Structure 1
Amino acid sequence: MSIEVSSLPGGNRPPGEASDPPRPRSGTSPRTPGLLLGLVLLAGAAALSLTVGTEHIPPGQVWSALLSPTGTEHDAIVRELRLPRTLIGIAVGVALGLGGAVMQTLTRNPLADPGLLGVNAGASAAVVTAIGVLGVTSFTGYLWFALAGAALAAVAVQALGGARHATPVRLALAGTAVNAALFGYVNGLQLCNLNTLDGMRHWSVGTLAGRDADLLLTVTPLLAAGVLLALALARPLGALALGEDHARALGTRVRRTRVLAVLAITLLCGGATALCGPIGFIGLMVPHAARALCGPDPRRLLPCCALYAPVLLLVSDVVGRVVVPPSEIEVGTVTAFLGGLLFIQLVRRRKAAQL
């Protein structure tokens, strides 16, 4: 995001510089095509998730199972397995996509991931403590410990980064330190307790399968609060992306914006991680694709990320179902493979810092 030279006080356009491209007429919105495409892709990904799997079910039977079930085996598969899985995928995708976009805008780092704030590490440390020390075995129990751990880790990163004078570099360094310490604790406790290692493996795999719809209902208020907060921060985050001095000149309260952005990331990514385990790289990949379609302005970028992220997550989940039938590959493994390739490409690009 940049400010036009001619818009600054006393600023004159250098001689010979090309004039600005014409702005869209009032009443038209440059975000509309990107949002419409996202809605179409999301509808298609949801239909694919309901239809494709180890047991192929024709679209007509899927529609009948949703609207007028007759108690057949296909009805049970669609309503009890695939529908909750698809809804959870949409909710988690929205949360991770928004969290990634807010994180990259907040830190002004195109390679930033929500895990940079210690969300995944905090959730993992809390879950491994619940399993190894307190003997918790249910996904419902994991849920609340993961949420608490994610929140505490985010608060610790914010405190270490300087709550009053936090900068993108200090936040990144604090997040790296907290991640290293917490993952060291997780690995140590797992090695000392084999039961903890087995229990942790079921949660940390990063999957949409086997998650009950009741868990989604429990997490939905937190995710909804995070979505609303992230969208409400779109304008001040856009100003903050210009730099703190420009943001203050535009009337943005920098400290409050940073704290609320960290809170939004914690609610979004903490809730998603608690629900499905750590699913990496969604928050890294989607904002880059969305910028190509919607531009860098957070007012357009955030809604686009909320649409494209669940598309990527659902398609990755479908790929994991069919690539090695009759077994499945967890969606976290698929996104890690795709994200690793993208991450290498971004690092190799000389102009990655300008994205």
Structure 2
Amino acid sequence: MLGAASALLAVVVALVAVVSWHLTQGTTAVGAGDLLDVVLGRAPGSTVDVLVDSRLPRMLAGLVVGVALGVAGAVFQSLARNALASPDTLAVNAGAVAAVTTVAAFGISVPFVGNTFVAFGGALLAAGLVLLLAGGGSASTTRLILAGSALALALDAVGTAMLLLFDQETTGLFAWGRGTLSQTGLDGVESMGPIVAVTVLATLLLARRLDLLGLGDDAASSLGVPVLATRVLGTVLAVLLCACAVNLAGPIGFVGLAAPALVRLAARVVPSVSRHLVLLPMAGLVGAVLVLLTDAVVRAVLGAEQSLRVPTGVSTTMVGAVALVVLARQARDAGPTRRPASARPGALHGRLRFGVVVAVLVVLAATAAVVGLLAGYSWFLVGDVANWLQGDAVPKIRLGLDERAPRVVAALLAGAALALAGTTTQAVCRNPLAEPSILGVTGGAAAGAVIVVTTVGSPSSAQIALAAAVGAIVAMVLVYAVTWRGGLDPDRLVLVGIGVAAFGGALCALLLVYSDPFNTPALYTWLSGSTYGRSWGQVVPVAVALVVTVPLALLLHRELDLLALDDETPRLVGIRLERLRIVALAVAALLAATAVAAVGTVAFVGLVAPHAARALVAGRHLRVLPVAMLLGMVLLSVADTVGRVAIVPAELPAGLVVAVVGAPYFLWLLYRSRA
């Protein structure tokens, strides 16, 4: 234990150094010498006031949050026996934020400590659902992260909808929802600090059980460990720590992943650190170091005034996303889910079924388009549309349809593009639960588009589409390059993609902070997946992308069939596997980029449409591709129409409507594939 004591002492020394530096960062000139004067009792009252009223609350908040998340992450990883489990990848933080935001949106007044229990309820529900769907401690890495990522997307959609619909009731929650250490005094720390301290002590009482649980459920049970009770109690304690952290500072991303991961790396040098009696407090201390160091670095680099605009949670998410990518690159996974349906011979009834399905979907897509033109704040008639097409509509109807037509077409084409991108992505990953948004392609496209929008005065549609394409391609190349280790492992591709997606999301949030405040609501709505204010110029890029990629995808349908089977079969028939994968991913990136440029970031269309298509017409890509595109068109068009008419005169972004439908479908697929 001497080595463990030395390691703990080293972390404590590092924490003291970081705390001292953190206290010197601020808008007022108070440096290290002034801190020494305070310690020695020689400082003037003004210096003491600055420390007590401003810097000390921020530092203590970072300390409490870091300890809470570090310990919680270590407990989650031990319970799941998974190095990538954390409050973020298990959707725990997302559940807490969604619960607090929803309560505030409905005007329910809750005291500060009461908010902790609101956050605890949401976080506990999210954690339990993810572990149930993924298979608990027996879950593979990819299953666990996929379940958490999907649920987090859905919960983020709920939170975003609350912020958009109840902007008055949720005033101030946008900045808190990004994670901030800013405090108005010591009240928050005084309320949460004792709860965190008691909960950490309670987790230490589970240290021996957690040590034995690492041997496996059967071995732990034979040694007298109540496995189920330990899992339930450990989960409750970890979730409570996360709820305290979220209530105090909002979601501080990925600290619960990076802190215990660093401690486990240290265990390779000092094996005694791996014992939970040492690992848990050390993870908490490292978490505090990460939070405070990140905050201090941002303030030192950007300056005190500018750093106030950067949420701490965004900074830690960017750092933690890199850690997730590094850990994912090292991860080994046996394969999380059932493969996409294999190609089956095209029997006569199969061809007939395909024809009937296509005919029905064409009618549904046309109907969705017509209803999309008719529906809105003012409803039009079919005759009005006919007159508009002939150029004989009255001015009011002409203006209304001129505004609706581009957004209806944008929804139809973007839905087709996302569905085609999802189909090719699932073939490459051999995973029916993969899609461009989870692989980071959509996040890269969104980041590229937001960079142009926030840096160029009035960018054209072509500039936005080009920037989105560059961002998507950069993300795709990065994911592919990092994943490659003498070959492409599909599971690793998914995990790395999730890390890149998290980084892209944090980058978008950071750019939003620095954007023109008058443009922020519009950008935020667009990032939620909105067709509002679309023009024909924004529709053209996605139309061109479909014209280019659809024939290519259909031409490669046999290769995609073989790629969805395994790595050996394509090689046996002479297919250059890696070149095919690069082409397929490039097609997905181009389609996702143009879809993002047209309608913003929309998740789950690329998941739901291909899977539903395989359920309708089996697994041959010659049939799946057109059916998936038609389903994508119908899904996004209907979501756009529902978003326009559900709460008139206000509107819900189509991306939020799709998430409400797509996330439960995704989770059902994951639950069904547990066997």
For Structure 1 versus Structure 2, the TM-score category normalised by the shorter chain is 0.7 to 0.9
Q: Within 2, Cα distance between the matches of 1:117 and 1:144?
A: 23
Q: Does 1:338 align with 2:319?
A: yes
Greater alpha carbon shift after TM alignment, 331-340 vs 109-118: 109-118
Amino acid at match of 2:327: L
Q: Does 1:169 align with 2:147?
A: no
Query: Structure 1 pair 56/160, CA: closer, same or farther in 2 (3 Å)?
Result: closer
Offset of 1:342 from its aligned partner? 1.5
Offset of 1:67 from its aligned partner? 5.2
Aligned residue for 2:213?
240
Which residue of 217, 220, 227 corresponds with 2:190? 217
Match of 1:251, SS state, is coil
User: Whose RCO is larger (CA < 8 A, sep 6+)?
Assistant: 1
Superposition pairs for residues 6-25 of structure 1, below 5 Å? none
1:222-265 CA-partner distances (Å, limit 9, x unpaired): 21222012111111011111110011111111011001101111
Q: Within 2, Cα distance between the matches of 1:48 and 1:83?
A: 12
1:299-352 CA-partner distances (Å, limit 9, x unpaired): 321121122111111111111212222311322122111111121222222558
Greater alpha carbon shift after TM alignment, 179-188 vs 268-277: 179-188
Offset of 1:111 from its aligned partner? 1.0
Q: Within 1, Cα distance between the matches of 2:297 and 2:39?
A: 23
Aligned residue for 1:75?
48
Query: Structure 1 pair 205/273, CA: closer, same or farther in 2 (3 Å)?
Result: same
Q: Within 1, Cα distance between the matches of 2:193 and 2:18?
A: 21
Superposition pairs for residues 190-339 of structure 1, below 5 Å? 190-196=163-169, 198-294=171-267, 295=271, 296-325=274-303, 326-328=305-307, 329-339=310-320
**Preserved CA contact (<8 Å) 2:180 2:311:** yes
**Preserved CA contact (<8 Å) 2:98 2:122:** no
Q: Within 1, Cα distance between the matches of 2:123 and 2:184?
A: 24
**Preserved CA contact (<8 Å) 2:119 2:247:** no
Query: Structure 1 pair 150/348, CA: closer, same or farther in 2 (3 Å)?
Result: same
Amino acid at match of 1:130: V
**Preserved CA contact (<8 Å) 1:230 1:261:** yes
Q: Within 2, Cα distance between the matches of 1:162 and 1:112?
A: 14
1:2-43 CA-partner distances (Å, limit 9, x unpaired): xxxxxxxxxxxxxxxxxxxxxxxxxx5331111110111111
Superposition pairs for residues 111-190 of structure 1, below 5 Å? 111-134=84-107, 136=109, 141=111, 144-155=114-125, 157-158=127-128, 161=131, 166-169=136-139, 172=144, 175=148, 178-190=151-163
Segments of 5+ residues of structure 1 without an aligned counterpart are 1-27
Match of 2:2, SS state, is coil
Percent identity over the alignment is 34
Match of 1:255, SS state, is helix
Match of 1:195, SS state, is coil
Offset of 1:114 from its aligned partner? 1.5
Query: Structure 1 pair 211/237, CA: closer, same or farther in 2 (3 Å)?
Result: farther
**Preserved CA contact (<8 Å) 1:225 1:267:** no
Amino acid at match of 1:102: V
Aligned pair count? 322
Which residue of 323, 328, 343 corresponds with 1:347? 328
**Preserved CA contact (<8 Å) 1:54 1:322:** no
Query: Structure 1 pair 196/78, CA: closer, same or farther in 2 (3 Å)?
Result: same
Aligned residue for 2:476?
none
Q: Within 2, Cα distance between the matches of 1:208 and 1:160?
A: 28
Offset of 1:108 from its aligned partner? 1.1
Query: Structure 1 pair 185/109, CA: closer, same or farther in 2 (3 Å)?
Result: same
Query: Structure 1 pair 156/284, CA: closer, same or farther in 2 (3 Å)?
Result: closer
Segments of 5+ residues of structure 2 without an aligned counterpart are 335-675
Q: Does 1:50 align with 2:51?
A: no
**Preserved CA contact (<8 Å) 2:57 2:185:** yes
Offset of 1:72 from its aligned partner? 4.1
TM-score by length of 1: 0.81
Q: Within 1, Cα distance between the matches of 2:201 and 2:32?
A: 34
**Preserved CA contact (<8 Å) 1:211 1:276:** no
Amino acid at match of 2:115: F
Offset of 1:132 from its aligned partner? 1.8
Query: Structure 1 pair 55/352, CA: closer, same or farther in 2 (3 Å)?
Result: farther
Offset of 1:159 from its aligned partner? 6.6
Q: Within 2, Cα distance between the matches of 1:156 and 1:280?
A: 16
Q: Within 2, Cα distance between the matches of 1:236 and 1:205?
A: 35
Q: Within 2, Cα distance between the matches of 1:213 and 1:272?
A: 15
1:39-66 CA-partner distances (Å, limit 9, x unpaired): 1111111111112333342323113235
